[in-house]
Amino acid sequence: MIIYPDLELRQGRLVNLVRNRIDSPIVYDLDPIEVARDLARQGAEWLHVVDLDAVFNAGENTAIIKEIIRSAGCSVQVGGAIRAMEKVHSWMDAGASRVVIATAAVKYPHFVKAAATAYPDSIVVSIDVRGGLVVIEGWTETTTFTPAEFAHQFDNVGLSSIIYTDIDRDEDHPESSMAHIADLAAKVRTPVIGSGVVKTLDDISTLSYLPNIAGVITSRALFGGAFSFPEAKAIATTRHDPPAPFL
């Protein structure tokens, strides 16, 4: 299982959104480019980088992200308002290894299929879920899709992975659990990356045992000091042999 450090960029700064509110982010006093390089030195294979200003139509952080791609020394998947093939081409030309499509995947599924055809195994669909239903537009609009129903339309289009963001767990809903991401992972062919589900090293350990969970995205726990990247990677990459048969 791969640990994806989550570098969320707002006005050139490394931040994390609480309840997806752009007006009151947690701001980390860290240079995002240096953080990216340091994580690669610590053994990060991938970085998950999101341009929040692009998402909220408040500008862009393209130059910083391109520098991260150029100099980090590991693979980078980029998200943030990727809604047209022109944007996909632009990021792939800049050296991104993958691009992440979120709201546009719900509104324009043909766009996802076109992107995956043009860049096989390089397109990621991000599914944000609250109360068992897919939500879009920065968690403000609820659709009628369950995660599995929505994901199945992309079963055979050559996606690299699906990001499943469990909003209820991210917001500490009392009834949230790992069961939701486990259920989706069991129902789809595409590898699943968890987001919003990790608060402790125990959570990483739990996810590492679940079938079809290919990775986990972490920001608040990692940059907030709940654990270090080497600690997270050590647990994520521990080999789990299947249980011995009952005799």
CA distance 177 to 197: 8
Question: Do residues 113 and 123 lie in contact, with contact meaning Cβ atoms separated by under 8 Å?
Answer: no
Catalytic sites, residue numbers: 8, 128
Residue 110's CB is within 10 A of a number of other CB atoms, namely 7
Amino acid in the structure at residue 239: R
Hey, is 169 helix, strand or coil? helix
Q: What are the angstrom distances between the C-alpha of 67 and each of 40, 199, 210?
A: 14, 29, 35
DSSP state of 211: T
The label of the residue with tokens 């998402």 reads 55
